[in-house]
Amino acid sequence: MSRQMTGAEMVIAALQDQGVEVLFGYPGGSVLPIYDAIFKQEKIRHVLVRHEQGAVHAAEGYARSTGKVGAVLVTSGPGATNAVTGLTDALMDSIPLVCITGQVPTHLIGQDAFQECDTVGITRPCTKHNWLVKRIEDLPRILHEAFLVAKSGRPGPVVIDIPKDVQFATGTYVGPKNIQHKTYRPKIKGDMDAIRKAVEMIGKAHRPIFYTGGGVINSGPAASQLLRELVKATGYPITSTLMGLGAYPAKDDQFLGMLGMHGTLEANMAMHESDLIICVGARFDDRITGRLDAFAPHAKKIHIDIDPSSINKIIKVDCAIVGDVAHVLEDMLRVWKQTQPEIDKKALKAWWGKIEAWKARKCLAYKGSDEIIKPQYAIQRLYEMTKKHDTYITTEVGQHQMWAAQFFKFDEPNRWMTSGGLGTMGYGIPAAVGVQMAHPKSLVIDIAGEASVLMTMQEMSTAVQYRLPIKIFILNNHYMGMVRQWQELLHGGRYSESYSEALPDFVKLAEAFGGVGIRCDKPSELDAAIQQMIDCPKPVIFDCIVDPAENCFPMIPSGKAHNEMLFGDAVEDIGSVIDEKGKMLV
């Protein structure tokens, strides 16, 4: 239906027509007409953040936990530039967002007007697409087109920059009917010849492994279910990237855990010694491949990805299938059932035997303590005590993030929100705000470090204002933990600027915001303190004091191969394949 309205009213109408229920933002002069339109309606709930970076991360958390497009509204100039970190984070991790930015009136563009910046130019490298709307006649089409581009193909963030005079102008609004982009036509269905070739390769493999990523989750619940069916039909092992955790159940015997820089021995060694890698919705990034010339030297590679630019970008593959993961897996599973490839069961049994031997080495082992809380133990207890709850986890970035990936087990998709590609410290609190807005009755926990958490701590105020009972679980080791670890292992123990000095009293800080603070430094008191946190109806900052010297292992040093892993002191049963420096010799 078409009707006359202002540009500001068109923005709200389009958001409503696109199913947006929550809008994260911060007002300013160049978007006041839109905020006035927000005031006059009740369908969309606006969440006032305390910093525009927080608005984008909150929208990311909302989008990741729901599968919907996240929506953001910020003003021009610093409002837009403050959003850049979040936009880049969303681009790296393929998160669908529509970010609407205000702009100075069209006749002032290019004159260095107050709070003017080239938003389109600045955000072009960190968005999937962006628009500067100069005519009211174009606004409805662009608004609907933006949602299409953000959620279709490989998802990502888009920006719509709307000058203030366009917001005041009056025009004809048209709803989202038959919206298409002129040139953007992502391929959804995979080539059947390539799918048949892939099935044949899978059937003939002797040492196969499924390598899965965030693309499985982005494709929707059907993709995760189809992946599980295909993995079960083959009987093959499966591993996951950091972004793909939850697409396949962690508790399943065929799951080898996360792979990559801080992945398990069994996952990394299975990749290294495999003869076939079936890559599903992942992109062979550097944290997974390690040294490229030593990556999976004996393996043929199948790559399923909706983004054709990801194919052969980093690793040359033997069979490429461009298409949406859910559609490709559906066709692949059907062809598998039709052809019923004859698997070499003897070879597969031998392959599983080798994998079980790697598993038996218990690469995640650590030395426990009755005196000080080990960070791994803290995550394990947190996981055990939240099992019966409908739990969502966000994280900051660093050691705590990797320990969470290693020790918190995810059996369903969309429960794990973390910054993978960009590695954004400060992601976790605002992301938790977004998740809690989407799931008000669920338990939402940000697993944090004391350094990362301070970068967006102001969003605690947002949580309190909107009565969002998020739990911020800080593994406080008084260091930028991952920086300290690299300095210890790779820079001769020269801890340059990595010690967290002048930390706030997190209990008092929580209380100052109007939340609840809890501190625990004894293993014997940890369970009771975690339960207190879970039961609390308010936002909580939990200051968990952990061993400051603990390192996150296993670890593949930057630029090394999968078979050049480092292990902690507790991994004693590695035996002869470990030298005196903790390096694996294979």
Question: Which positions are annotated as active-site residues?
Answer: 52, 114-115, 164, 482
Tokens of 454: 């301070």
| Amino acid identity, position 552 | C
Q: What is the 3-state secondary structure (H, E, C) of 164-207?
A: HHHHHCEEEECCCCCCCCCCCCCCCCCCHHHHHHHHHHHHHCCC
The radius of gyration of the chain's CA atoms, rounded to the nearest angstrom, is 25
> Measuring CA to CA, which residue among 392, 540, 396, 400 is closest to residue 454?
396
Cβ burial of 160 (10 Å; 0-12, 13-18, 19+) is: buried
| DSSP letter, residue 285 | -
> Measuring CA to CA, which residue among 159, 58, 86, 124 is closest to residue 424?
86
- At 6, is the secondary structure helix, strand, or coil? strand
Q: Are the C-beta atoms of residues 355 and 256 closer than 8 Å to each other?
A: yes
Peptide bond connecting 308 to the previous residue in cis, omega within 30 degrees of 0: no
Rounded to the nearest 10°, the torsion over CA 11, 13, 16, 17 is -110
532: CB partners within 8 A, 6+ apart: 518
| Amino acid identity, position 237 | P
- At 241, is the secondary structure helix, strand, or coil? coil
Residue-by-residue DSSP string for 467-526: T---EEEEEE-SB-HHHHHHHHHHSTT--TT-B--S---HHHHHHHHTSEEEEE--GGGH
- At 554, is the secondary structure helix, strand, or coil? coil
